[in-house]
Amino acid sequence: MSSEWKEMEVDGATHRTMPIRIYDGSKEARKAPVVLYFGCGSFLDKSRDEESPIARVFANSGAVVIEADYSQPSENVFPMALEFAFAALRCVSTKRKVGRRPLLFVAGAEAGGNVAAGVALKARDQMPNEIDGQILLSPLVDPLMATASFREAEDTGMRDRWTDGWNHYLGSSGGFCHPYAAPCHCSRLSGVAPALILTSEDDPLRDEAAGYAARLAAAGVKVKNRVLPACRGWTQIYDGQATAGCVPPDELRAEFENFVEGLENRTFCF
């Protein structure tokens, strides 16, 4: 069954709302994990009419997934985008306090991976121990765009788009040096939630993702970083026509379920 967008009030004091879509795969399980998911779009897209296949995979694993469209109310500009995303986290976190507390994750792909990483850092600072993990798929976390693998962005047709996206997102905000806007350059990563970071061998963002994973691990954060084989990763979020059929829902589902199981049992074989 498809999910429809609806408005959720994320700040009662100011009556701010943002579009959300709920994918409920819990089958009434009391402790089904909750995933707050932020989609891709290179900080440029402002409409998401179709369902997210990534969010659907999480739901098919038995999670309740809330896809939050931070781009509509924030115009994809920092810090507003991060503020709306964090407000969504506060709202979801408050609602889960009723009854038994399920695991709570923030997740995102590409630009949404940046937002999820920023939200995880802000949650560490303002809502410590409130989220249980972060799931980053090809996160766009480094505005310098200078890694070796990023040179391949020209071949995928994404270099100009990502350049435009970073310029739009950061604009004149000064966010280039802000840890919530450019997590790859954050100088204090200790205490942030455990991370699952996935890219693929044909992904121009794989080096910056690996660099972020390494810095998290060096700060004592539990991290699993996996680079999937080419055409078995997430490059379909850049060009759906060219990579049709490359989505590996079974692998994503297995990685997600193993990540959840490790957190439930507090066993980290990363």
pLDDT of the chain, 270 residues: tens digit per residue = 457 788 877 775 566 788 999 998 777 555 789 999 998 889 998 766 678 888 989 999 999 999 999 998 899 999 999 999 999 999 999 877 555 678 999 999 999 999 999 999 999 999 999 999 999 999 999 999 999 999 999 887 889 999 999 999 998 666 677 999 999 989 999 999 999 999 988 899 999 999 999 999 999 999 999 998 876 555 555 654 444 455 567 888 999 999 999 998 765 444
Q: How far apart, in Å, are the Cα atoms of 81 and each of 14, 72, 111, 173? A: 16, 9, 11, 12
Q: Please give the pLDDT value at position 111.
A: 94
Inside any domain, residue 148: yes
Q: Compute the residue count for the chain.
A: 270
Give the number of other Cβ atoms within 10 Å of residue 198's Cβ.
28
Inside any domain, residue 270: no
Provide the number of structural domains found in the chain: 1
Q: Please give the pLDDT value at position 246.
A: 55
Q: Please give the pLDDT value at position 213.
A: 98
Inside any domain, residue 1: no
Pair of tokens at residue 101 = 């507390």
Q: How far apart, in Å, are the Cα atoms of 118 and each of 37, 59, 203? A: 13, 23, 21
For the chain, the distance separating the N- and C-terminal CA atoms, rounded to the nearest angstrom, is: 35
Asked if omega into 79 is within 30° of 0 (cis), the reply is yes
Q: What is the C-alpha to C-alpha distance for residues 85 and 151, in angstroms, rounded to an integer? A: 30
Inside any domain, residue 61: yes
**∠ CA 74-95-252 to the nearest 5 degrees?**
70
Inside any domain, residue 166: yes
Q: Are the C-beta atoms of 62 and 33 separated by less than 8 Å?
A: yes
CATH number of residue 19's parent domain: 3.40.50.1820
Q: Could you tell me the residue range of the domain that residue 190 belongs to?
A: 6-265
